[in-house]
Amino acid sequence: MKVSGFNMVIKGGLVIDPAIGFGNEADLFIKDGKITKIVKSGEISQRDIAAIPTESIIPAEGKLIAPGFIDMHVHLREPGREDEETIMTGCQAAAAGGYTSVCCMPNTNPAIDNQETVKFVLSRAEHSDARVFVIGAITKALKGEELSEIGDLVKAGAVAISDDGNFVQNPEIMRRALEYARMFDIPIISHAEDKFLCDGGVMNESFESTRLGLKGRPAVGEEIAVLRDIKLCDFTGGRLHIAHVSTVGAVKAIRQAKSEGVNVTAEACPHHFSLTDDEIGKEFNTNLRVNPPIRTQKDVEAIIEGLIDGTIDCISSDHAPHAEEEKDVEFDQAPPGMIGLETTLGLVKMNLIDKGYLSWADAITKMSFNPARILKLPGGTLEIGSPADITIIDAERKWTVRKDNFHSKSKNSPFIGWKLSGRVDCTILGGRIVYKSK
Ligand SMILES: [Zn+2]
């Protein structure tokens, strides 16, 4: 087979693409930022291969080739907290974690609740190492009181709306938001934690929180919120996406709603299937403080069940950078959140794939294909004609999470020191190498 007219060829990797059902060793050709051809290894003659200039070959023998990961849930902190993360550094962290697209949450300062701020973020992201998609605010300043101009946000480029960090406590406002969002066919992403039930809580409400004397956030606080939003979603015919599912009851509620045909999707984060609340009392590591909180072994098992049976569609990082001095306080004084872009792949590999819960194809579906489908984003597949957003994975490579190696400006990870397996070898964005592991 003759090959010509390409800028780059990724050679000999095992192509994992749930969309095209490819599971073979193949050579992948890229031209002008797009995937132009996938050819099974061996179908190109040695002579033709020899004619390819070596500088345009990316050797990938023994590696996995996946569509670039898409993270639906990232906090980039710009505008407002550029000391914690900027769009540029957040995208560098994304590239190092294998992500070619990230969706940024609107709880910046000012909040992304108007066209100007959407446009500002998109313009700052123009030359970054990942595509940035904006999630606009449901309500002005995320206060839950007055709807944003949702049509304006969509016109400026918002792909979804969310008050992430806050639950839209007023059901009338959530109802109107679902109705408006429906007109633009965008999902509403719900941070489902009832404010009254969770007020002041800093960890899961359990035997552990009582033992440690810390105020808890009960599972029922999440479950009531999930159930209410499902009910409103069903009633309005809107589209609902539940962020960071963390409890047995939340998984059950979403499973039930899906079986009844409600238009709901859901995501889980690595910390909710990798950690339990008994970790907190060991060192009071403030990087373990997150909303919703890390919970119990039973909850971890339910999340994994939900990932296996498709109740949970996506794996998102909820990458939430915080400055060191803000986390260097008493546990209950620390702001919630941990970074995650650079550790998600390793945690998915170690805790889900190595334990036999998910196949690589399942994991990539949840980290790339499904987020693209839910938000109608480009990518998520290696189909011919797709953008050349590609993650090359060194599946068995062991590595240790080190604070100094994070590309993120903030280092607030509870996984520092953990030994993980599975690492990004190379990330390609629109045919351009944006990350190469050392
Ligand atoms: Zn949230």
**pLDDT (tens digit, 9 = 90+) per residue, 350-389?**
999 999 999 999 999 999 999 999 999 999 999 999 999 9
Residue with tokens 């080190």: 402
- Taking a 5 Å cut-off on Cβ, the residues next to ion ligand 1 are 164, 191, 243
**Cα–Cα nearest to 195, from 174, 154, 224, 172:** 224
Distance 320 CA to ligand 1 centre (A): 9
59 vs 22, more confident:
59
Residues whose CB is less than 8 angstroms from the CB of residue 153 and which lie 6 or more positions away in sequence, other chains included: 112, 113, 114, 115, 118, 134, 136, 137, 161
Residues 140-193: tens digit of each pLDDT: 999 999 999 999 999 999 999 999 999 999 999 999 999 999 999 999 999 999
The fraction of the chain above a pLDDT of 70, given in percent, is 99
The fraction of the chain above a pLDDT of 90, given in percent, is 92
Q: Which residues are catalytic?
A: 318
Q: Domains in the chain, start-ordered, CATH in brackets? A: 68-375 (3.20.20.140)
Does the pLDDT at position 54 exceed 90? Answer: no
Residues whose CB is less than 8 angstroms from the CB of residue 35 and which lie 6 or more positions away in sequence, other chains included: 28, 29, 382, 383, 384, 385, 386, 387, 388, 390
Distance 164 CA to ligand 1 centre (A): 4
Q: Are 76 and 132 contacting, i.e. CB atoms less than 8 angstroms apart? A: yes
Distance 351 CA to ligand 1 centre (A): 22
DSSP β-ladder status, 8-15 and 25-31: antiparallel
